[in-house]
Amino acid sequence: MDTKRINRISEEVRKTVSELLTIEIKDPRISPMVTVTKVKVTRDLSYANIYVSVLGDQEAKNETMEGLESAKGFIRKEIGNRIDLRYVPEPVFHLDESIEQGIYMSKLIDKVNEEDEKKRRNSDG
C-alpha cells in the first residue's frame, strides 16, 4: 500500500484517538495528562500501534494503560465510525517515555551548565 496513504491514515487515527481521550472516554483510570505522541498503522491496516505518553508516577502509567486496554473495543468502533476505511485497524497501545526522557536530559544539561558556570566564577574570582 502507498506510504502516503498509510501516513495519512495514521495521522487521522492519531487525531481521532486524541479526541476520544480528551473528550469522550470517562474511565477514571485514564490519566488526564495522557497524550497520543505517535500512531503507526501497519501496511495491511490490521493494527494501529498507538504510542501514548503519560505524565505522572509509574502507578498512573500502569492504570492508564489498563484503562486504554479496556477501552480498546470502543476506540476501534469510533475509529471505524469517524474514518472511512474498509478494515478498521486493531489498536495496540504502547507507553512512550520519550518526552520524560527529554525532560530528564534537559535537566541534566541545565545542571551541568550551572556547575560549569559556578566553576568559571570561582576560578575568575
Sorting pLDDT into bands at 50, 70 and 90, what band is 51? very high
pLDDT band at 64 (very low <50, low <70, confident <90, very high): very high
User: 74-120, pLDDT tens digit by residue?
Assistant: 999 999 999 999 899 999 999 998 888 888 899 999 999 999 998 88
Q: pTM for the full model?
A: 0.80
How many residues comprise the chain? 125
Residue spans of the domains in the chain: they are 3-97
d(CA 19, CA 76): 13
Query: How far is residue 50's CA from residue 48's CA, in Å, rounded to a whole number?
Result: 6
pLDDT at 125: 60
2: confidence class by pLDDT, cuts 50, 70, 90: confident
For 66, residues 6+ apart whose C-beta sits below 8 A from its C-beta are 29
Which whole-number Å values give the CA distances from 112 to 118, 120, 121, in the listed order? 10, 12, 14
pLDDT in tens, 12-43: 999 999 999 999 998 999 999 899 999 999 99
CATH architecture for segment(s) 3-97: 2-Layer Sandwich (3.30)
pLDDT of residue 122: 86
